Amino acid sequence: MLWFKAWLETRWRFAFIAGTMLFAWAAPLWAPLFHLRTPPGVSDSRLWMAVHLASIFLYIFAAIYLAGSGINSQTTYSATSGFHPSMLFTLSLPVSRRRLLFVRAGLGALQTGILVAIMAAYTVFQRPGGTTAPQFLVYLARAMVCTMVVYALSTLLACLLDEMWQFYSGFLCCIAAFVLQFRVSLVSWLSPLRGMSLISYPIGGPVPWAPVISSLLLTAGLMYASMLIVQRKEY
Amino acid sequence: MNQAAIETHGLSKSFGDIAALRGLELNVPRGSIYGFLGRNGAGKTTTIKLLLGMLRPDAGRFSLFGEAVDSEASSVAARRRIGFVSEGKELYNFMTVGQMIKFTRPFFPGWRRELEEKYLELFRLPRAKSLPKLSKGMCTQLMLLLAMARGAELLVMDEPTSGLDPAMTEDILQALADLAADEGVSVFFSSHQLAEVEQICDSVCILDEGQVVIDGVLDDLKSQYRRILAVFKSEPPDSLAALPGVDHLRQRGRTASLLAHMDVDAVVERIRELGAISVEVRPVTLKELFLDHVRGE
Amino acid sequence: MQLRVNFSSGVPIYVQLMEQIKHAVETGAVRTGEQLPTIRKVAEDLAMNPNTVARAYRELEREGVIEVRHGSGAFVAVVEAGPKSVAIAEASKGFRNAIEAGATLGLTEPELRRVFEQELSRITGE
């Protein structure tokens, strides 16, 4: 029943992002109604890159948005206590804290994965030059793994901060990583943000092993840290 | 084999500078309905949170059902047998009454369906109603239902009747009496409502500033303690306070009011020897015991 | 037998129950051999602690006022109309008159109780 509770906590967030994505997906259908067309002079490939970057933004947004709430609270309760009082009821149940964290995080991760898949499918199959199914699956795998780092980081932030701060600090961390990857070559080499991108690592090109492996390790590390925090926390 | 439902030794907890609990020694016998009294901030909620694993003690140890609870695993094992009602009575406000029950049920293999039905009807809680629409009293009743229907051996409750009207309160007390009679369920609850504690509890403990100041079977406390009012010709002598068996002393003008326990007759003798012109002995209510022990001299 | 308990009184609850049951037996409100309500029923009716009821029954059994037959319940024991019960019945009348007189004078229950305790300690103290 913990899965059921997690679903009830996150369903509107999931619906909101899924709705946004499906709305974007349907653009070719509704754009003509508003007489929207590609501006002249913009090539197909430039348009596609813009759509692709937007989809990466949506992966990140989904990961951050779905990781918040549930671990610490449903909504911010008060500045001082930092957790929703219904947490006391949850903690009185015969469930280990580790299980509480992993069910909640697990469902959010699953939801994030689904949303990444939707958006990835949308952008990849619109790519000028076409994409085969195996190529799509390879991209999907690395996009999911890299997005999971953002998800794990957001989960860790959710264990420490209240909802509003978790949301903003998640984005701040991504922006910081983005800026760093242009300045520090190590960060650039390992960056999950680049791992998600078809601009840095195009289809048909070499598989970005460095970002993928660093993402797996980072995800594991961040989730482990989250678990330690949740286990030690005092309510 | 009659282990205590709850036993604590030297349990201490501080929050920064504030010492919430200072060496708590508690013994709650199995099958008793135990009232935990104290002023706001005395440490009652802290104790309950420590017992349920929401906080970790700074010092001391405790056991539930005779088994030491010193790890997460032992805490989880104990919680399988415990029903909890929090002070704020907050549940998941994105669920309905029915969903709350369906959510809680699978955690407890000993869930009592017949109690669930009985209390749903008694408290008139509609399954389809969502929690934000429930009044505070109904939230309390739902939380009590969830605690009682799970087949727990011990109920731990933080101010279970606060916010309830007298009719609801009586329903709850009757339900507790029923559980205790039927299954020998132990009940441990903190409260400010002395009247209810006197009605339903067989044992009480008064907590003040993180320590136990009085505890025992309520009827025995009432037998042992007496209020003695002594009037003297002039100022009551200072040696009054030093009399053995005298707990608290208050003076106003020529009258001294003391709380004595054990061997009251001997105390009365001594007081007469000290020159009292009139001595009156009265029984003591729980309210007097409480106020005398938490308000200081 | 209608049991009533004053939970806020300084008198232990089990003592109050015992006194009421003994009084019911002595005045004939419950007859010899009649079954008393179960501990559970008393606790439920009064919304009070069953352990306390059990204690009252245990003490009454110890004093020989009731007998507990395992599995069947508690029954009023055979009571000889000895001098004690007669004396108690007589004294009850006297107390009843005194209380009524005090009430007529306008004394409240706590005031009546105080007067009683004072007189009692005066007599037993001398």
Residue with the two structure tokens 């794990």? A152
Per the CB < 8 A criterion, the answer to whether A44 and A128 are in contact is yes
Residue B297, pLDDT above cutoff 60: no
Going by beta carbons, is chain B in contact with chain C, meaning 3 or more pairs sit under 8 Å apart? yes
Please state the φ and ψ torsions of residue C94, each to the nearest 5 degrees: -60, -45
CATH architecture of the domain B221-294 equals 2-Layer Sandwich (3.30)
Mean pLDDT of B121-129: 93
On the question of pLDDT at A71 being above 90, the answer is no
Residues A191, A192, A195, A197: what is their CA dihedral angle, to the nearest 10 degrees? Answer: -100
Domain that holds residue A72: 2-33+42-232
Residue B147 and residue B115 in contact, taking contact as beta carbons nearer than 8 Å: no
* Alpha helices per DSSP H over B61-207: 72-79, 97-104, 113-122, 136-148, 166-183, 194-200
**Looking at beta carbons, which residues of chain A come within 8 Å of B94?**
8-9, 74
What subunits make at least 3 CB pairs under 8 angstroms with C? B
Q: In chain B, what percentage of residues exceed pLDDT 90?
A: 61
Distance from CA of C121 to the nearest CA of B (A): 7
pLDDT digits (tens, 9 = 90+) for C45-56: 999 999 999 999
Q: Which residue has the higher pLDDT, B242 or B109?
A: B109
Best B2, B28, B201, B202 residue to mutate vs chain C (most C CBs within 10 Å): B202
Torsion angle of alpha carbons B267, B269, B275, B280, nearest 10°? 70
Contact predicate C51/B33, CB 8 Å: yes
Within 10 angstroms of residue A186's Cβ, the number of other Cβ atoms is 11
pLDDT at residue C74 above 60? yes
Distance from C-alpha of C36 to C-alpha of B169, rounded to nearest angstrom: 27
- Residue B19 Cα, gap to closest chain C Cα (Å): 33
pLDDT at res. A77: 38
ipTM of the complex: 0.90
Tally of domains within chain A? 1
pLDDT in tens, C101-125: 999 999 888 888 888 888 888 887 6
Of C8, C9, C50, the CB nearest to B181: C50
Predicted confidence (pLDDT) per residue in C28-38, tens digit: 888 888 889 99
Comparing B78 with C29, the larger pLDDT belongs to B78
Judged by CB atoms closer than 8 Å, whether chains meet at A86 and B93 is answered as yes
Q: Least CB-CB distance to B222: which of C11, C47, C118?
A: C11
Chain B residues touching residue A94 (CB < 8 angstroms): 76-77, 79-80, 107-108
- In sequence order, what E strands does chain B have? 6-15, 18-28, 33-38, 59-64, 67-68, 82-85, 154-158, 186-191, 203-208, 211-217, 225-232, 246-252, 255-261, 276-283
| Beta strand pairing call for B59-64 and B211-217 | unpaired
Dihedral pair phi/psi, residue C104, rounded to 5°: -65, -35
* CA nearest to A3 within chain B: B103
pTM of the model: 0.84
List chain C domain ranges: 13-76, 83-125
Residue B166 scores a pLDDT above 70: yes
Domain boundaries defined on chain B = 6-209, 221-294
Instruction: Check whether A79 has a pLDDT greater than 60.
Output: no
H-helix or E-strand containing C76? strand C73-76
Find the angle CA(B228)-CA(B231)-CA(B235) to the nearest 5 degrees. Answer: 120
**Topology adopted by domain B6-209:** Rossmann fold (3.40.50)
Supply C24's token pair: 């019911």
The closest of B26, B194, B160 to B83, measured between CA atoms, is B160
**DSSP element (H, E) containing C75:** strand C73-76
Domains B6-209 and B221-294 share a fold: no
pLDDT exceeding 70 applies to what percent of chain B? 99
Q: Which CATH class is domain C13-76?
A: mainly alpha
pLDDT of residue B139 exceeding 60: yes
Q: Which of B53, B77, B88 sits opposite A91 (nearest CB)?
A: B53
Question: Could you give the count of Cα atoms lying within 13 Å of C45 in the half-sphere of its Cβ?
Answer: 12
Asked if the Cβ–Cβ distance from A97 to B72 is below 8 Å, we say yes
pLDDT higher than 50, residue B262: yes
Residues from B in contact with A at Cβ < 8 Å: 49, 52-56, 72-73, 76-77, 79-80, 82, 84, 86, 88, 90-95, 99, 102-108, 143
pLDDT of residue C82: 64
